Amino acid sequence: MKKNIPYSIPYIDDREIAEVVKVLKGKWITTGSEVKKFEAQMKKYLGVGTAIAVSSGTAALEISLAVQGVREGDEVLTTAYTFASTALAIIHQGTVPVFADIEPDTFNIDPGKIEEKIRQEYEITSTGLQSKKSKRFLRGIIPVHFSGQPAEMGPIREIAGRYDLFIIEDAAHAIGAVHKGEKIGKSPYPVCFSFYSNKNMTTGEGGMIVMDGDCREREKKLRMYSVHGLSKDAIERDKTGLPFYDIVYPGLKANLTDIQAALGVVQAKKLPVIDRLRNRVAAWYDEFLAGVDEITTPVIKEYNHSARHLYPILLNPKLKASRDEIIIELRKKGICTSVHFIPIHFHSFFKSFFKEEIMLPVTEDLFSREISLPIYPGLERNDVKYVATTLKQIIGMGKK
Ligand SMILES: Cc1ncc(COP(=O)(O)O)c(C=O)c1O
């Protein structure tokens, strides 16, 4: 029988279904007690003081940027090796994304390249770092923890501190990841998670902004921004019986519903198991692909624990078959794969948005050689072996 190995499957069973049905049978389906429960649970899991559930990882980034007060004439530095959301969230604030290249082994933003870019392209002025070219001001950095492996937060924090830049972390891939003994999320600034359907834990669509430390004022503002900038959300108005409200900020409509949160509450309980199973799948790939010179398997730094959202392999540039041909051959054998990421500056919108050519040699090189193999908690050892064996056969056929 022909194998069929999807790229990703959510880890959902009857427990999630029962909790969602319970909410649907109740009287309150939008943001309410389930969201509160979900937030409390995530605070405990991550060991942080603030957790604000929102409608997507994208919304988490947009709200965090809006509350940061960036505006037209500002720039935010990030990686082009990310999903469009990271750069679009910046653009939606009237702000311009600028990019630093990535590390060739982890795919994460390279702090050395951030420093180099700042030194070469910006001037220190009394009102901040001003671009010599565009005259705009660099205000912040958004690192992305690619594939679930934490970025180099020590040097990034040091650079941000030195130049007075804010940090917002894009942790869409990184729930459960640990960097130098600290869980991703435990930061004094916003860290944005995604609970999209293919993420390590899911609420269908959903996201969360978390922070640690004394950030009550910022939390209040972030919460208001997630529901139109309303002074009182629906549950508060319901509690007091007074229907009046005020719009305090130009917020978004980005709250999570109780239906989604009910799913999240069960998923969050499974996080330790999900993390263990994903890491087990990654270890099997490492085992079955060890010693295959034609590919490079993911490199996890010894002080990082990866959430293993992706298993990105790199093909040797000397291979005869192209990356795309290999993807097609894998598909013919019933193996679904993906590519992470099409660099931001390769998309047609961004090509027209950025008037001048952007050159990021490492980003472009890794993209041309990357394939993301299937990874999800339910993937069995035999399936991983089948993927690895098939991949080796296809590569063998395509050798020069
Ligand atoms: C790196 C990264 N950032 C942000 C997002 C956006 O998350 P969401 O789909 O929940 O809006 C994604 C989603 O795939 C992502 O991969």
Indicate whether residue 83 lines ligand 1 (CB < 6 A).
Answer: yes
pLDDT per residue as tens digits for the range 362-400: 999 999 999 999 999 999 999 999 999 999 999 986 444
Q: Write down which residue in 217, 247, 269 finishes a domain.
A: 269
Confirm whether 61 is domain-assigned. Answer: yes
Q: Residue 117 is part of a domain; what is its CATH number? A: 3.40.640.10
Residues 71 and 152 occupy one common structural domain? yes
Confirm whether 235 is domain-assigned. Answer: yes
pTM of the complete model: 0.97
Kindly report the length of the chain.
400
- Contact 285/388 with Cβ under 8 angstroms? yes
Q: Which tokens in the block code for residue 191? A: 């860290």
Residues 220 and 276 occupy one common structural domain? no
Gyration radius of the chain's alpha carbons: 22
Give the model's pLDDT for residue 241.
79
Indicate whether residue 172 lines ligand 1 (CB < 6 A).
Answer: yes
Amino acid at 176: G
Residues 292 and 252 occupy one common structural domain? no
Confirm whether 380 is domain-assigned. Answer: yes
Q: Which tokens in the block code for residue 90? A: 């910046």
Q: Write down which residue in 221, 254, 269 finishes a domain.
A: 269
Query: If you measure from the C-alpha of residue 227 to the centroid of ligand 1, how many angstroms do you get, rounded to a whole number?
Result: 20
Residues 86 and 223 occupy one common structural domain? yes
The parts of the chain modelled with pLDDT lower than 70 are 1, 397-400
Indicate whether residue 57 lines ligand 1 (CB < 6 A).
Answer: yes
Query: If you measure from the C-alpha of residue 159 to the centroid of ligand 1, how many angstroms do you get, rounded to a whole number?
Result: 25
Indicate whether residue 196 lines ligand 1 (CB < 6 A).
Answer: yes
Query: If you measure from the C-alpha of residue 207 to the centroid of ligand 1, how many angstroms do you get, rounded to a whole number?
Result: 9
Confirm whether 8 is domain-assigned. Answer: no
Query: Closest ligand 1 atom, CA of 59?
Result: 11
Q: Write down which residue in 254, 269, 284 finishes a domain.
A: 269
Residues 184 and 80 occupy one common structural domain? yes
**Measured between alpha carbons, how far is 204 from 60 in angstroms, rounded to an integer?**
15
Give the model's pLDDT for residue 177.
98
Residues 247 and 291 occupy one common structural domain? no
Residues 289 and 265 occupy one common structural domain? no
Residues 261 and 118 occupy one common structural domain? yes
Confirm whether 7 is domain-assigned. Answer: no
In sequence order, the 6+-apart residues with CB closer than 8 A to the CB of 219 are: 50, 52, 211
Indicate whether residue 82 lines ligand 1 (CB < 6 A).
Answer: yes
Indicate whether residue 56 lines ligand 1 (CB < 6 A).
Answer: yes
Q: Residue 314 is part of a domain; what is its CATH number? A: 3.90.1150.10
Give the model's pLDDT for residue 397.
61
Query: If you measure from the C-alpha of residue 193 to the centroid of ligand 1, how many angstroms do you get, rounded to a whole number?
Result: 8
Element (H, E) at 227: none
Give the model's pLDDT for residue 238.
76
Residues 72 and 218 occupy one common structural domain? yes
**Measured between alpha carbons, how far is 288 from 292 in angstroms, rounded to an integer?**
9
Confirm whether 351 is domain-assigned. Answer: yes
258-269 and 33-46 helices cross at what angle (nearest 10)? 30
- Contact 137/73 with Cβ under 8 angstroms? yes
Q: Which domain holds residue 198?
A: 14-269
Query: If you measure from the C-alpha of residue 205 to the centroid of ligand 1, how many angstroms do you get, rounded to a whole number?
Result: 10
Give the model's pLDDT for residue 115.
98
Residues 313 and 182 occupy one common structural domain? no
Confirm whether 6 is domain-assigned. Answer: no
Give the model's pLDDT for residue 242.
79
Residues 300 and 179 occupy one common structural domain? no
- Contact 97/90 with Cβ under 8 angstroms? yes
Give the model's pLDDT for residue 400.
42
Residues 346 and 369 occupy one common structural domain? yes
Number of domains in the chain: 2
Partner residues linked to 231 by β-bridges: none
pLDDT per residue as tens digits for the range 250-290: 999 999 999 999 999 999 999 999 999 999 999 999 999 99
Confirm whether 2 is domain-assigned. Answer: no
Query: If you measure from the C-alpha of residue 58 to the centroid of ligand 1, how many angstroms do you get, rounded to a whole number?
Result: 6
Query: Closest ligand 1 atom, CA of 56?
Result: 10
Q: Which tokens in the block code for residue 389? A: 């064996």
- Contact 174/308 with Cβ under 8 angstroms? no
